[in-house]
Structure 1
Amino acid sequence: MSAVAKRYARALFEVASENQTIDTTETELNQITDIIAQDAEFRAILTHPKITAAEKTDMLNTLFAGKVSETTLIFLGLVINRGREESFSDIAQNFTELANEVRGYADAIVTTAKSLTEEEAQAIAAQFGAKLNKKLRVTTKVDPSIIGGMMVRIGDRMYDGSIKGKLSRFTQQIKQAQV
């Protein structure tokens, strides 16, 4: 994530917080991000250097008028006028992170060697959530290469309780002891 995306997200978040529209703004940003990601032609137009900022802004106003709030439309225009179109998805992601922090939510990615049941995922969310004093939303991944145990990523922190990780740490300790 770029520092620029964080600044833009923080500025929009402050406006949305002031207007008490954090949830609505987050939904709108995610919808726009999805459209940009799914529609290659729209993305090409939005990032094309020969299309002026005014033309891009007019196009967005036509497309999204009445579908998103005026605050979001103005913000889109600002992003385009500043030439930051390619940072839009990062801005939206940063906005969501800020909103989650205020709500006391965190996203966790739990990687295991075999798939987890819903109950197991909820138990992991409860355990880590209690330690972090947050409500965790868990996404599970299966990676047989970790052999057993689990790896949990919450934000930029990684908790590695996998057998693969333990073997790796054990190998490092042996190498250091031999020196």
Structure 2
Amino acid sequence: MVLSGFVLALTLASVAGCGLRTSGFGGGWLGGGSAGGGTSEVSSESTGAVPVATTSRMSIAAAKPVDAYVLLGGRIKSCWFNADAPLLPNHVYRANVSPNGNTVQITIHQKLALGRPGLSTYAIDFKQEGPSTVVTTENRKMPPDLAAKMQYDIDRWKRGESNCSKEMPKAVAAQPAAAR
């Protein structure tokens, strides 16, 4: 009942264009990066033996981690793992929710025999920071084209889109050096 009330309030606020505190990246129910508060972009450190993982952060205004997980996790399962045309047919979805719902992690694993999870290839963390939930994504071993599509979908969903797009992100063409 509480979750359906939250979803209804979130939908009404989105339609009315009021009441949501969004940050960066142009609105929607998800904002990006810092929301004017004390959060900052995640930095990656490089050590000689460990490759740097790609991470991205976004905040979900006024949502608890478990509520944000229900909304985003539902889109992930229906778009990336659907029976008809899954984006990730050779992967499995796992979620770990803390007993109090303040931290949630979705991990995407390579699929082993009998559908068992193998190597973790992508992670999405939901953590409470003040009144908002911060969502951090990490590409651990996912091929770059799939990781780009996954991040593209997450970015679309944070702007309020809810469909399962087959569109791949457009690669940024390298800019030629300016003549001097």
TM-score, normalized by length of structure 1? 0.22
Name the larger-Rg structure.
1
Taking structure 2 as the reference length, the TM-score comes to 0.22
Structure with higher helix content: 1
